[in-house]
Amino acid sequence: MQKLKAPVLYLIRGKEVLYSPDKVVQRLNDVAPQIKTIVIPDASHDITHSQAEIVNKKILAFFSF
């Protein structure tokens, strides 16, 4: 991951039950700080459906760099 040159956006659901979203973000920031990480607080497994407006805005903002 450290060698990734292309922009990367990692969206993680806030209602994750298998692991801590905050720990995942911290780990990514430690090993690959160039990866943009965003926690979508009220999202669960259907992140792109239940939080479509937020997800779409985040993706569009990411691609408008």
Query: Do 9 and 36 form a contact (C-beta atoms < 8 A)?
Result: yes
- pTM value? 0.83
How far apart CA 59 and CA 32 sit, in angstroms, is: 19
Name, in order, each residue with C-beta under 8 angstroms of 12's C-beta and a sequence gap of 6 or more. Answer: 21, 24, 25, 37, 38, 39, 40
Portion of the chain with pLDDT greater than 90, in percent: 65
pLDDT for 65 beyond 70: no
Burial 23-39 (b: 16+ CB within 10 A, else e): eebeebeeeeeebebbe
